[in-house]
Amino acid sequence: MAFTLKERQLMGIHGLLPPALLDQDGQVYQVMQNFNRWTNDLDRYIYLMSLQDRNEKLFYRVIADHVETMMPVIYTPTVGLACQKYGMIFRKPRGLYITINDIGHVYDILCNWPIDQVKVIVVTDGERILGLGDLGAYGMGIPVGKLSLYTALAGVLPYACLPITIDVGTNNQSLLDDPLYIGLKQKRERGQVYDDLIEEFMKAVVKRYGENVLVQFEDFGNNNAFRLLERYRDSYCTFNDDIQGTAAVAVAGILASLKITKKKLSENVFVFQGAGEASIGIAKLLVMALMKSGLKQDEAHKQIWMVDSKGLIVKNRPSGGLTAHKEEFAQDHKPIDKLEDVIATVKPTAIIGAAAQHGAFNEKILADMAKFNERPIIFALSNPTSKAECTAEEAYKMTKGKAVFASGSPFKPVTIDGKTFHPGQGNNAYIFPAIGLTSIVCDVRTITEEIFLESAKVLSELVTDEDIAEGRVYPPLPKIREISTTIAIKLAEFSYDKNLAKRHPRPDDMTEFIKSHQYSTDYQTFVPNLYDWPNVKSGFRIHPPPPPKKNKYW
């Protein structure tokens, strides 16, 4: 209904639409009326996905205008629920499915994707969807949601985005028993066959889309996530969002928190609950940041303590379970089993939760943190909301308002005794769209650790004094779109400075250059201004143009 009368007449569709003209502003209003009718977020998700299928520009315009309302629906936490019910809510396919049975034919399947200009792929094998575990092919909601943010937050063109699920089976029995399950009904394939499939996939992607296509690994199980990152990080344009994207956003939050705690980075001591992808990623990036601030590597390691399911990670731990990544952070200390005892012993300045254990930051831990610190840093990063280590309200209440709090999933502001506290959302959504945009348009072929540290630094510098005064360590969500663009511009400068950008010549005006590659949600008119019709309001042709040429398919 946004087609003008001229457009309707030239296309020969006059009369096929209701007479009124409803421009995009009016359509946004109409969508919001519908959106607000739903009483739960899953229904809102279904509604928005059908809008995305029906009118992509309007979908992104709605997200842009209402980012704070929409992000928790198209992304975390609702996308987690949508993944759990993906078979039930399935309406229409979106994205590409490659299964273990397709070995030998992966390139052919990629050729079935009708678009040739793909620049970024988000791929999952569904083994660790958020903190919800193995959701197999139901995990497709995650690449779809992540790529929606590429467009909504950084302006990457929607058709340049390709969500992919690699289906090697699932070990989730309830999915195998689910009559609506959309994936292969078999246990997960592992070992050499799995590796062969991924190898074939990586090669096929480059063959189909070129060596500068960005492949973002998302929500793989621990073991594969680390292995595949090591294997491909130098030879492909790739990164792992859960290890590296999460690391950058967490380090940004810690850097910004220094303005509140009035401490130097090197004066902080960190305890991690969990030693998986996020914790190891954050810890490694923190070591880099600490070393840049003047510490030696072993001094940096001494500031970082990790607790996994077997307790404190210490050298030669009798209970074992130490991978090489964990070993790097093993302390010279006697074993301690419980997180609260570790915190009572180490007296950290910051605790970071990333093990999807709801309630792990209990009353004693939070109260202790407030005892040891004027302003304790409490990051409850696990997703979705149901897996957060503590809620925003618990963090503020139990520390008597002292906590510098951030969480992976969004929490609403909390008011205690008339004072309002604003939690930050320490979610990699502040990072990956910007890194992706820069990498695509500047042709950055290797996404180095320096890029993640730089993006953390840039993000932390975009936290304003007003944000800090409100206790925020991230910019408020309504600003996330402009923040993403600013990060992309700064990363582009950085990439050229460091010789990482392969697109030459270096643009003179980076802001203009980056913005010129961003998607516009405006409807484009395709009617040349040939006629100035005197009587357009009546809806009748006074000087009719020649009848529109019929498309042969009409």
List of residues contacting ligand OAA (CB under 6 A): 76, 130, 219, 241-242, 383, 408, 427-428
Q: In the annotation, is 296 catalytic?
A: no
By C-beta, is 205 or 388 nearer to ligand OAA?
Answer: 388
User: Of these residues, 6, 86, 138, 146, which one is catalytic?
Assistant: 146
Choose the one of Mg ion, ligand OAA, none that binds residue 189, judging by a C-beta under 5 to 8 angstroms depending on kind. Answer: none
Choose the one of Mg ion, ligand OAA, none that binds residue 486, judging by a C-beta under 5 to 8 angstroms depending on kind. Answer: none
* 127 binds Mg ion per the rule CB under 5 A: no
CB 517 within 8 A of CB 436: no
Work out how close the CB of 242 gets to ligand OAA at its nearest, in angstroms, rounded to a whole number: 5
Among 219, 277, 368, 389, binds Mg ion (CB under 5 A): 219
* 242 binds Mg ion per the rule CB under 5 A: yes
To the nearest 10°, report the CA torsion of 308, 310, 312, 314.
-110
Work out how close the CB of 354 gets to ligand OAA at its nearest, in angstroms, rounded to a whole number: 9
Work out how close the CB of 377 gets to ligand OAA at its nearest, in angstroms, rounded to a whole number: 19
From residue 32 to residue 51, the character string flagging contacts with Mg ion as x (rule: CB under 5 A) and all else as - is --------------------
Count of residues near Mg ion by CB under 5 A: 3
CB atoms within 10 A of CB 498: 13
Measured distance between the N- and C-terminal CA atoms of the chain, rounded to whole angstroms: 20
CB-based contacts of 378: which residues, under 8 Å, 6+ apart? 350, 351, 361, 366, 369, 390, 395, 399, 403, 404, 405, 406
34 annotated among ligand-binding-site residues = no
Work out how close the CB of 383 gets to ligand OAA at its nearest, in angstroms, rounded to a whole number: 4
What's the Cα-to-Cα distance from 498 to each of 235, 448, 450, 462, rounded to whole Å? 18, 11, 9, 22
Element housing 407 (H / E): strand 404-407
Choose the one of Mg ion, ligand OAA, none that binds residue 76, judging by a C-beta under 5 to 8 angstroms depending on kind. Answer: ligand OAA
Residue with tokens 């980012």: 67
Residue 304, beta-bridge partner list: 270
219 annotated among ligand-binding-site residues = yes
By C-beta, is 225 or 346 nearer to Mg ion?
Answer: 225
By C-beta, is 424 or 507 nearer to ligand OAA?
Answer: 424
Alpha-carbon span 67 to 483, nearest angstrom: 13
380: buried, middle or exposed (CB in 10 Å: 19+, 13-18, 0-12)? buried
Q: Give the residue nearest to ligand OAA (CB).
A: 76
CB-based contacts of 52: which residues, under 8 Å, 6+ apart? 59, 94, 148
472 annotated among ligand-binding-site residues = no
Residue with tokens 């810890």: 283
By C-beta, is 75 or 519 nearer to ligand OAA?
Answer: 75
Alpha-carbon span 417 to 432, nearest angstrom: 37
Transcribe 378-390 into DSSP letters.
Answer: EEE--SSGGG-SS
User: Of these residues, 60, 75, 209, 236, which one is catalytic?
Assistant: 75
Work out how close the CB of 427 gets to ligand OAA at its nearest, in angstroms, rounded to a whole number: 5
128 annotated among ligand-binding-site residues = yes
Tokens standing for residue 24: 């995009």
What's the Cα-to-Cα distance from 243 to each of 319, 472, 533, 534, 547, rounded to whole Å? 25, 23, 59, 62, 58
Residue with tokens 């094998």: 125
Transcribe 259-302 into DSSP letters.
Answer: HHHT--GGG--EEEE--SHHHHHHHHHHHHHHHHTT--HHHHHH
By C-beta, is 127 or 242 nearer to Mg ion?
Answer: 242
Choose the one of Mg ion, ligand OAA, none that binds residue 454, judging by a C-beta under 5 to 8 angstroms depending on kind. Answer: none
Q: In the annotation, is 75 catalytic?
A: yes
What is the distance, to the nearest Å, from the Cα of residue 16 to the centroid of all Cα atoms in its chain? 41
Work out how close the CB of 218 gets to Mg ion at its nearest, in angstroms, rounded to a whole number: 5
By C-beta, is 384 or 471 nearer to ligand OAA?
Answer: 384
Work out how close the CB of 252 gets to Mg ion at its nearest, in angstroms, rounded to a whole number: 17
Work out how close the CB of 239 gets to ligand OAA at its nearest, in angstroms, rounded to a whole number: 12
By C-beta, is 77 or 507 nearer to Mg ion?
Answer: 77
Q: What angle do the packed helices 67-74 and 480-497 form, to 10 degrees? A: 80
* 467 binds Mg ion per the rule CB under 5 A: no
CB 354 within 8 A of CB 382: yes
205: buried, middle or exposed (CB in 10 Å: 19+, 13-18, 0-12)? buried
529 annotated among ligand-binding-site residues = no
By C-beta, is 153 or 336 nearer to ligand OAA?
Answer: 153
CB 487 within 8 A of CB 462: yes
Going by the annotation, the residues of the binding site are 128, 218-219, 242, 383, 427
Residues within the interface to Mg ion (CB under 5 A) = 218-219, 242
Going by the annotation, the residues of the binding site for a divalent metal cation are 218-219, 242
Catalytic residues, by residue number, are: 75, 146
Going by the annotation, the residues of the binding site for (S)-malate are 128, 383, 427
